[in-house]
Amino acid sequence: MEVLKIIIFEYLLGYVLQGFTITLGVYAFNRWRIELKPYVLASALVIVGSYFVRLLPIGFGVHAILNVLFLFLICTFFLQMPAHTTVRSALLATVLLVVCEMIDTWIMVTVFGIEKFEKLMLVPSQKAILGVPGSLLFVILTGIAYLVLNNPRKRKGESIGEVSA
């Protein structure tokens, strides 16, 4: 049962959900429309690349830098996005992910206390479950960013509520 929890929460809700969402973030911040097949293939490449980068025996900050670099390369060469905007977009999507994870950690420490939180983080299945709210927040914020930045009315210069073009 422990292995099933790890598979569901760490791999499906961790790698897969974050891989699709961070790719969506690059689309959003580049203001590109999603085409399903390239989006799914690019997301799959990001997921696989991220998984293998995390297996490397290197520090966490290095993992993040390599993942951003890998995301940039996939979006630039595979999706043919312009390099100058893709750098910004990949960094913005990654910063948004980190902020969501920080918010999740802050909430969990507030709810459980630092001692209990640290104990929970030692159990792989519990660690994966604790990361789910941060991943879901990342999905919501990235989805909103995509919808706002790729709104067809905004592209035509019309006012959309509080947002004006």
Longest dimension (CA), the chain: 53
Task: With beta carbons less than 8 A apart as the criterion, state whether 145 and 25 touch.
Answer: yes
Tokens matching residue 89: 């977009």
Q: Who's near 79: CB < 8 A, 6+ residues apart?
A: 32, 38, 42
Is 165 inside a domain boundary? Answer: no
Whether 125 is covered by a domain: the verdict is yes
The answer to whether residue 163 is domain-embedded is no
| 99 vs 10 pLDDT, higher one | 99
Q: 54-68: per-residue pLDDT in tens?
A: 888 887 788 889 999
Domain holding 145, by residue range, is 2-155
- Domain tally, the chain: 1
Nearest-angstrom CA–CA distance, 108 and 46: 28
Tell me if 139 is assigned to some domain. yes
Rounded to whole angstroms, the Cα distance separating 38 from 141 reads 22
**Residue 6 is assigned to a structural domain of this protein:** yes
* 31 found inside a domain: yes
Q: Where are the beta strands (DSSP E) in 106-164?
A: none
Q: What is the pTM of this model?
A: 0.82
- To the nearest whole number, what is the mean pLDDT of the chain? 85
Instruction: List the single range of 19-23, 39-43, 56-60, 123-127 with lowest mean pLDDT.
Output: 123-127
Higher-pLDDT residue of 40, 54: 40
